[in-house]
Chain A
C-alpha cells in the first residue's frame, strides 16, 4: 500500500520551474531515497510535503487522504541545514519543538526521557545547545524529529555531520523506526547509505523525475554486460585476442598492488559470460571474475551527465 503519493506535482517560481510534473509513490513501511544533484528540486518537494509551500498543481496523498494541516503532526522532518536555538537549553528546546508538533508537555517529557536515556545523553538536558558539538546537536535534532512518532519521516542528508560511529547509531534507529511501521523519505548524496538502506529510489534532475523504482530492479536495469576480472601475470597486449566478444576500446586495465592486473571488460551483446571465462583461462592465472553491476553512484552520475 502506498502511504505517500505525489501526483503530477508542479511548482514554478518567477524565473524557473522547481518541479515539473513529479509523481512518486512511497510504500508504507519502506525507505525511499530521493536522489538528485543540488538544485534538482528535492528541497522544494520536501517543503511541499511539509506544507511550507503549496504546489501550483498536482496532488499529494498521505495515507490516502489529501495533504492538509492536520497531517503536520504525522510528519517528522529533519532538514539538511540543521538548526536549534543556540541560547536555549537542550531539554526545554526539545520540549518546545515537541509541543509545536502537537504533543502535550507531559507526553513529550516522558518520550524525551526515553530517547535521552537511549542515546545516553540525559546529562545534556540543562546544557545550552551552543555548548554542544555539531554531532551532539545533531543527535538532539534527530530525537526532536522522531519524538512525536511520525508516520512519515523526512530526512534531508541525515548522516552529514555524524562521525561513523554515530552515523551507524542513527542508521540503526532509522531502520528500527521503519520496522515499527514508519515510512521514511530520505534525500541524500551519500550513495552508499542509499544502497544500504533504501528500498526504493527516485532520481530527480532538472526538476524532472528521471528514474525510479525498487533498488535491485534499478540496478538490474542498469547492468551493462561488464565484467571485472583480475589476472596474475597478464600480458595486456593479448587483450586484442578477445576482439570478437569484447569491445576492446571500453576496457580498462589497472595494475594493482600485488602486480595483478584488474581488467573491466564490456562484452558484446549476445555472448555469454561462460564463454568469456573460458577464453580468459588461457591468459594466465585467473584470480577473480565477477559481473560489474553499476552502483547507485554510477547510475546517478550516468543519468545526471546524460542530460
Chain B
C-alpha cells in the first residue's frame, strides 16, 4: 500500500509541475469565461423588441402590464386559448401569458396562478418584469378602495399572495423555468469536458506505461512492486492530476465569473437588476446569462462531474494502460486505441441529440451503457435527470470499471515484459486467459 502511495506521488508530481499543466490550468477558465461572454454577446445581438401576448380571461389585468425596455405587450381578444396560442406562435411572439378565469376567486384565497406559454424559457429580466407588474395589479386588487393604499404598498414589497407561474411550451409541454440555452451550453460543456478528461488522462496513462516499457525501467520497478500496484499507482496518480486541474478550473472560473458578475453590477442572484444602466439591453442579457449560470445546482454538477470523471476515467484508463503495456512503440498503439475510443466518440457525437431531447430514449440508454454514460449523463445532468437514473448509471459504471480493470491488469502484467513481437488481439486474449 505504501508503495502504491509512492508511485501515485511520483506520477502526480512529475505531471503537475510541468509547464503545460500550469498553462492549461490557467488558460482553461479564461477560455470558459470567454465562451460564456461570446454567448452573452451574441444573444444580445438579437435585440428586437420582444412581444408577449396577454390572454386575460379575468379582465382584471387590463393595462396592468406596461411596455418596458425591449419589451411590448399585446392584449389578445379572449376568443379561445388555443387560437390565441397559435396566433402568438405564428406571429413569432416571445411568449403568451395566460390569466385564467377565476383568478379573482383565487385571489381571495390568497393564491394566484398564471401560465406562461413560450418555446424559449424567458430571460429572467423579462419574467421578473412580468411578475412585478402582475404582483402590482394583484396587490392593487386586494386593497381596492383602501385609503392608505400607497403607505401599505410602500412597506410591503409583495402582496400576501402565492403567485404560481407555470412555464409551458406552445405545444403544451411543461418546461423547466431555467434558461434552456444555458442548460444546453452547460450540458455540452460538461459532456465535452468529461470526454476530454477521460481521453487526455487515459492517453496519459498509456504513454506513461509505454515510457516505462520502452526505457525498460519497468523491469527495475516490478522487481520492487507488483505490476498491479504499478498500474493502479499510475492510474490513481493521473486521476489526481485530472482532479487537480478540474479543481483549479472550478475555483478559477468561479473567481472569474464573480468578477464578471460584479463588473455587470449584479448584487446577488435573488436581487433585482439595477435599472439605470448605460446599455440596458446588453447588461440585462449579460446579467441573465451570468444569473442562469450561477443559478444551477453546482453541488450536483460538480459532484456528478467528479464521479463520472473518476469512474469513466477508471473504466478507460485501465484499458489504455493495457494498450501501453501490450505494444512496443507509440506508433503501434493505434490499432488498439481506436476501438477503445470509438464509444467515447460516439457518446460525444450523440451529445447533440441528447441535448435536444435530454429525456428521450437515446439519451436514456446512452447514459446507462457504461462506455458512453459518463459523457452522456454529464450532458443531461443540468436538465434535472431523475435520481434513480443517475444512481443506476453510476452503479453500472462502477461495476464495469472493476471488471475492465481486472481484465486490463492481466494484459498489463504479461505485456510489460514482452518485447519485439507485434501483438495481435489473439495474443491479448491469450494473456487474459493464461494469467
Chain A residues in the interface with B (C-beta under 8 A): 14, 47, 50-53, 72, 75, 77-79, 81-88, 96-97, 99-102, 144
> Is A96 a contact partner of B217 (Cβ separation < 8 A)?
no
Q: Which residues of B contact A77 (CB under 8 A)?
A: 219-220, 223
CB of B228, distance to nearest CB on chain A (Å): 13
Contacts of B430 in A (CB 8 A): 14
Which residue of A50, A85, A99, A102 contacts B223 across the interface (Cβ within 8 Å)? A50
1/0 contact string of B1-34 vs chain A (CB within 8 Å): 0010011001000100000000000000000000
List of B residues within 8 angstroms of A78 by Cβ: 220
Name the residue on A nearest B6 (C-beta). A99
Complex CA–CA separation, A100 to B221 (angstroms)? 8
Partner of A84, one of B10, B215, B223: B215
Distance of A75 from chain B, by nearest CB (Å): 7
Residues in A with CB closer than 8 Å to B219 are 52, 77, 79, 81, 83
Chain A residues with Cβ under 8 A from B221's Cβ? Answer: 97, 100
Indicate if the CB atoms of B215 and A83 lie closer than 8 Å.
yes
A138 to chain B, nearest CB (A): 13
* Distance in Å: Cβ of A51 to nearest Cβ of chain B: 7
Please name 8 pairs of A and B residues whose Cβ atoms are closer than 8 Å in the assembled complex, sorted by A. A77-B219, A78-B220, A79-B219, A84-B217, A86-B215, A88-B10, A100-B3, A100-B225
Q: For the complex formed, measure the closest distance between the CB of A89 and the CB atoms of chain B, giving whole angstroms.
A: 10
B270 at the interface (CB under 8 A from A): no
Query: Chain B's interface: helix, strand, loop or mixed, by majority?
Result: helix
In the complex, B62 has a CB within 8 A of chain A: no
In the complex, the 5 A-B pairs of residues with the closest C-beta atoms, listed nearest first? A83-B216, A83-B217, A50-B223, A81-B216, A83-B215
Contact of B220 among A86, A97, A99, A102 (CB under 8 A): A97
Interface residues of B (CB under 8 A from A): 3, 6-7, 10, 14, 211-212, 215-225, 417, 430, 434
User: Shortest CB–CB separation between residue B107 and chain A, in angstroms?
Assistant: 73
Main secondary structure of the interface of A (DSSP, over half): loop
Pairwise interchain contact B6-A100, C-beta atoms closer than 8 A: yes
What is the CA–CA distance of A85 and B417 in the complex, to the nearest angstrom? Answer: 17
Cβ-defined contact, B215 with A51, below 8 A: no
Knowing A14-B434, A97-B220, the reply to whether A47 touches B417 (Cβ < 8 A) is yes
Alpha-carbon distance A213/B10, docked complex (angstroms)? 44
Residues of A close to B212: CB separation below 8 A: 83, 85
In the assembled complex, the Cα of A69 lies from the Cα of B393 at a distance in Å of: 39
Whether the Cβ atoms of A72 and B6 lie closer than 8 Å is no
Q: Please, how many angstroms separate the alpha-carbon atoms of A83 and B416 in the complex?
A: 14
User: Complex: how many Å from CA A100 to CA B3?
Assistant: 6
CA distance A96 to B218 in the complex (A): 13
What is the CB-to-nearest-CB distance from A227 to chain B, in angstroms, rounded to a whole number? Answer: 46
Closest to B3 in A: A100
Please name all residues of chain B whose beta carbon is closer than 8 Å to the beta carbon of A101 when the two chains form the complex. Answer: 224
The CA of A33 and the CA of B223, in the complex, are separated in Å by: 20
Known A75-B223, A100-B3; 14 more pairs at CB < 8 Å: A52-B222, A53-B417, A72-B223, A79-B219, A81-B219, A83-B220, A84-B215, A86-B215, A88-B10, A88-B14, A100-B224, A100-B225, A101-B224, A102-B224
- Complex CA distance for A101 and B2, rounded to whole angstroms: 11
A142 to B123, CA, bound (A): 69
Contacts of A144 in B (CB 8 A): 220
CB-based nearest A residue for B9: A96
Residue of B211, B219, B434 ringed by the most chain A CB atoms within 10 A: B219
The chain A residue with its CB closest to the CB of B230 is A100
Nearest CB in chain B: distance from A81 CB, A: 4
Chain B residues contacting A88 (CB-CB under 8 Å) are 10, 14
Among B6, B219, B221, B223, the most chain A Cβ lie within 10 Å of the Cβ of B223
Beyond A14-B434, A96-B6, A99-B6, whether A85 also contacts B224 by CB under 8 A is no
Cα distance A14–B426 in the bound complex, in angstroms: 13
Central interface residue in A50, A79, A83, A96, by most chain B CB within 10 Å: A83
Q: Tell me the complex Cα distance, A85–B225, Å.
A: 17
CB contacts (< 8 Å) of A84 on chain B: these are 215, 217
